[in-house]
Amino acid sequence: MARHSTAFGSFTGSVSSYPTNSPNNFSLTYSSIKLPSSVSLPRLNFKVKAFSGDGVSETKESSLVVCFGEMLIDFVPTINGLALAEAPAFKKAPGGAPANVAVGIARLGGSSAFIGKVGEDEFGYMLADILKENNVNSDGMRFDPSARTALAFVTLRSDGEREFMFYRNPSADMLLQEAELDFDLIRKAKIFHYGSISLITEPCKSAHIAAAKAAKDAGVVLSYDPNLRLPLWPSAEKAREGILSIWETADIIKISKEEISFLTKGEDPNNDEVVRKLFHPNLKLLLVTEGPDGCRYYTKDFNGKVQGLKVDAVDTTGAGDAFVAGTLSQLAVNLSLLEKEDQLRDALRFANACGALTVMERGAIPALPTREAVLNAIFKSVS
């Protein structure tokens, strides 16, 4: 089928470029690609996504992922390996874990929305525009006239790993109130995704709990990425307590090895028995990300590991969010993946590639890949 070679051959843009408002979100298969018999490529089945005349996507309720929480500006140094005070310049990059996931899903051809609060300032307006440019539903976004959009300065070590300095005392995202929530949008979701930063202070904590309850009561699948940022919490103990306070309501949880060590007070994150301690009775899927080594997955019935793609890391900011976007974009279309190990492994192979491509550029949202870029990377890795 000629369309396969066209889909791979026509992608010439960088992984940081924004997608065009084009309705060519068709399903892709690999039936015409000859690969070694030992290689398995993901069986992806993205639904067609329609666009209105103004270029804003029309939400597909059956596969909508609503992401709740913070959206902010990351300032990333142009040179790795320097302390913040030594960095000669910074690149301004939109970010915030839940917003990253929302944009990541839209870039991959899925349907997403963002609920959160930014300042009624130039950065807030810029972030709102970025959501619209990326076809993310922003009906649930609010603007606060009395608080600024959050900022984060990110120190990059020579290996691309990060340290954070936050400016949010308070920032607008911390001031979202329950009365400002778009409950209709929440109830339309197939998946409701969130982190733990929105649990740190009131009134956002109460808004978070109310939003998650509304989603749960409507039969929406709850997806949780704790996204531990210790400097934002009053103490390590408060962080552990806050993260675990909503643990057993989630259907899907994604954590890193570092977060396993933190939550289990130093136990070995590589030990399956340790990980299983975090698996609660109602959990459908627990994912453990391992950076360039890929990920591990745990369900009630099976568990395993999926290898990642090896790339040269420039900035790891947003890699975990890209992985989550890659996973949720497929689960939103087909939740039965949670019960079919072979298909889940294919989905996670795709998600690993999403994360790998993201570390090759500076910043989170600017680096999130398109579906074409991900499929191209997977094809190259096995050909």
Closest among 67, 3, 72, 11 to 33, alpha carbons compared = 3
Smallest CA-to-CA distance from 100 within 176, 29, 152 is with 152
Q: What is the pLDDT of residue 44?
A: 52
Pairing state between β 295-298 and 111-119: unpaired
Of 189, 49, 186, 187, residue with least CA distance to 107:
49
DSSP string, 332-363: TT-GGGGG-HHHHHHHHHHHHHHHHHHTTSSS
| pLDDT surpasses 60 at 303 | yes
Q: Summarize the confidence of residues 337-343 as an average pLDDT.
A: 97
Confidence of residue 215 (pLDDT cuts 50, 70, 90): very high
Strands of 137-144's sheet, edge to edge?
Answer: 137-144, 111-119, 64-68, 191-194, 221-224, 252-256, 285-289, 295-298, 303-306
pLDDT of residue 160: 61
**Order of strands across the sheet that contains 90-95:** 90-95, 72-77, 151-156, 162-167
Q: How confident is the model at residue 24 (pLDDT cuts 50, 70, 90)?
A: very low
- The predicted-structure confidence for 237-272, as pLDDT tens digits, reads as follows 999 999 999 999 999 999 999 999 999 999 999 999
Burial 347-368, CB ≥16 within 10 A → b, else e: bbbbbbbbbbbbbbbbbbbbbb
Strand bridging mode 72-77 / 151-156: parallel
Torsion angle (degrees, nearest 10) of CA 314, 318, 323, 325: -140
> Is residue 28 predicted with pLDDT exceeding 70?
no
Query: Across residues 209-235, what is the average pLDDT?
Result: 97
State the average pLDDT over residues 195-209: 98
pLDDT more than 90, % of the chain: 71
* In the predicted structure, residue 110 carries a pLDDT above the cut 50: yes
Average pLDDT over residues 76-101: 89
Measure the CA–CA gap between 361 and 322, rounded to whole angstroms. 12
Q: Count the neighbouring beta carbons within 10 Å of the beta carbon of residue 145.
A: 8
Burial pattern 299-309, b for ≥16 Cβ within 10 A else e, equals beeebeebebb
What local confidence, expressed as pLDDT, does residue 137 receive? 98
pLDDT of 327 over the 80 cut = yes
Name the residue with higher pLDDT: 45 or 317: 317
Once rounded to an integer, what is the mean pLDDT over residues 155-180?
Answer: 86
**How many other CB atoms sit within 10 Å of the CB of residue 331?**
25
Distance CA 41, CA 30 (A): 8
pLDDT value at residue 21? 33
